[in-house]
A and B are shown apart, each in its own frame.
Chain A
Amino acid sequence: MPLLHTMGSIGHVTPQKMAFEAPLPLKSGASLAGYQLVYETYGRLNAARSNAVLVCHALNASHHVAGTHAGQDKSEGWWDNLVGPGKPLDTNRFFVIGVNNLGSCFGSTGPMQTNPATDRPWGADFPVVTVEDWVDAQARLLDRLGIDQLAAVLGGSLGGMQALSWTLRHPERVGECIAVATAPNLSAQNIAFNEVARRAIITDPDFHGGHFYAHGVLPRRGLRVARMIGHITYLSDDSMEEKFGRQMRAAELGYSTQDIEFQIESYLRYQGDKFSEYFDANTYLLITRALDYFDPASAFGGDLSAAFATARGKRFTVVSFTTDWRFSPARSREIVKALVDNRIAVTYAEIAAPHGHDAFLLEDPRYHGLLRATFDRIAAGLASCM
């Protein structure tokens, strides 16, 4: 860490790697023999090793939660507005950990990396990983970092599912769980959106059954369409209307069925292009599958309350956004009901933000105020335990 940094920013951060020799048993029954995780940490672990907060990432994010990478413009971490000195998750008080999940494409073992068994990239042969597998891998990383207990685990969307899963798989290692804009499982409509995205990728002629690396091509078209449909579902109808409405690029109609005419088309294509340059197609398939599969109630005959019995004694903060139709407040209320049924401590906030699912990454003062109050309370609890 540099000695001087701008107020509120962590400054330059350096990703680290940890290699694991012991095979990781996966939920599917398969196991991953030898893997590496890329992670970043911010702030200092205290002497009692009690101030660690794990931040779990969603579909297209990574271990790079906050700060910047030296020599790279615009390299702020994906949750930089929340994590840093003096920010709601204050790195002056907490030791914050971001981990790139297995199967992702930002340095942790995934489809782009070499399969030791074949000496070729894993590609489509990378084993299907689940939220539970990610959580177990994260737990092993904590073991190696010498952290028995997390002060809190935090995540939004798919990251929120991991935060919830922590309290079910390793409840003894979690103080508090903060789950934002998430759901206890995906609805049929949600799985349907994922399936459209996957079909776009798989039917791209450059996909080659997931082994496109050997052909020196990337299924960019598929990835673009996948990102476009995803992006539509992350925004609310209102915010899209306000941002783009029916604005056109030219004054006159072009009477073209193929050119970009509406600004929303231009925006979606731009997002798709950008995404297809940095994201791996096999990772997209794997992570959307992990989303589809997450369903902690399924092992309890669909009874979510029974699933959360293990989380007794924890404290939860659950946040949803009123205009989020991909992970709607009703889904968060299902989580809250399961907690209340188990008499588990919970703060549930339903933030009237206009931005849809994306709101969890934005800086709404009510939302950030609530997380700040939550982390202040957790920090005060740590201080009184010292």
Chain B
Amino acid sequence: MHVTTEMQLVADLVPAGARVLDLGCGDGALLAHLQQAKGCSGYGVEIDDHNVLACARRGVNVVQLNLEDGLALFEDRSFDVVLQLQTLQHLRNTEKMLRETARVGRFGIVSFPNFAHWPNRLSVLRGRMPVTRTLPYEWYDTPNIRVGTFADFEVLALRNGLTILDSFGFHAGQAVRRWPNLRASVAVFKIERG
């Protein structure tokens, strides 16, 4: 199985044997990796038919749901870790989903494109919305209906009574811990309910 460095970085944050809920789990690659490499168990949530099929092929537990409908299927604190990787930016109910993440899991790991990454800032300075590897869409056809920054998320977490346990950036296969708001294309936060 191909494990990307971003996947491995997130996997490092998940304790061995943890019960994991992966919101927007895609083809289930990360869950499969967590099961095999760290003895984790749990479920993925996914809306896309092809991804649900890919999870079924791998034998990764998957529940086909629209995250906009909330997580009523899952009891409070029924998971050790809730992953919400590269998902937040597609959701209308951003705040609700963050609170749901913190309700269902002991802690959550959230990642999203960092709009304040310096090439994006340059692009906006030049008067144009950025089109990059992390943000590959034109402004008029982007599925990213929420564009925020590393620094913005710190404010949002506070607003929703969430405690940030750890945070760092991610760029070009490397963790970025120094000036992540400027130097990282992806923001990663480990959060728990206040």
Q: Is there a chain B Cβ closer than 8 Å to A297's Cβ? A: no
Min Cβ gap B21→A in Å is 9
Q: Is there a chain B Cβ closer than 8 Å to A369's Cβ? A: yes
Give A344's nearest chain B residue, CB to CB: B61
Question: Given that A346-B43, A347-B61 are contacting pairs, would A340 and B53 also be in contact in the complex, using a CB cutoff of 8 Å?
Answer: no
Min Cβ gap A321→B in Å is 12
A377 contacts which of B41, B56, B64 (Cβ < 8 Å)? Answer: B56
Q: Is there a chain B Cβ closer than 8 Å to A366's Cβ? A: yes
Min Cβ gap B167→A in Å is 29
Q: Is there a chain B Cβ closer than 8 Å to A277's Cβ? A: no
A327–B86 Cα distance when bound, in Å, is: 34
A369–B57 Cα distance when bound, in Å, is: 10
Q: Is there a chain B Cβ closer than 8 Å to A350's Cβ? A: yes
Q: Is there a chain B Cβ closer than 8 Å to A370's Cβ? A: yes
Q: Is there a chain A Cβ closer than 8 Å to B136's Cβ? A: no
Q: Is there a chain B Cβ closer than 8 Å to A263's Cβ? A: no
How many chain B residues touch A (Cβ–Cβ < 8 Å)? 19
A341–B75 Cα distance when bound, in Å, is: 8
When the two chains form their complex, are residues A345 and B53 in contact, meaning their CB atoms are under 8 A apart?
no
A374–B65 Cα distance when bound, in Å, is: 19
Question: Given that A333-B73, A336-B73, A373-B53 are contacting pairs, would A348 and B41 also be in contact in the complex, using a CB cutoff of 8 Å?
Answer: no
A350–B55 Cα distance when bound, in Å, is: 14
Give B62's nearest chain A residue, CB to CB: A347
- A 369-386 contacts with B by CB, 8 A: 369-370, 373-374, 376-377
CB contacts (< 8 Å) of B61 on chain A: these are 345-347
Give A320's nearest chain B residue, CB to CB: B64
Q: Is there a chain A Cβ closer than 8 Å to B63's Cβ? A: yes
- B 72-129 contacts with A by CB, 8 A: 73-75, 78
A370 contacts which of B53, B63, B75, B78 (Cβ < 8 Å)? Answer: B53
- A 322-376 contacts with B by CB, 8 A: 333, 336-337, 340-341, 343, 345-352, 366, 369-370, 373-374, 376
When the two chains form their complex, are residues A348 and B64 in contact, meaning their CB atoms are under 8 A apart?
yes
CB contacts (< 8 Å) of A346 on chain B: these are 43, 61, 63
B56 contacts which of A333, A336, A347 (Cβ < 8 Å)? Answer: A347
When the two chains form their complex, are residues A340 and B49 in contact, meaning their CB atoms are under 8 A apart?
no
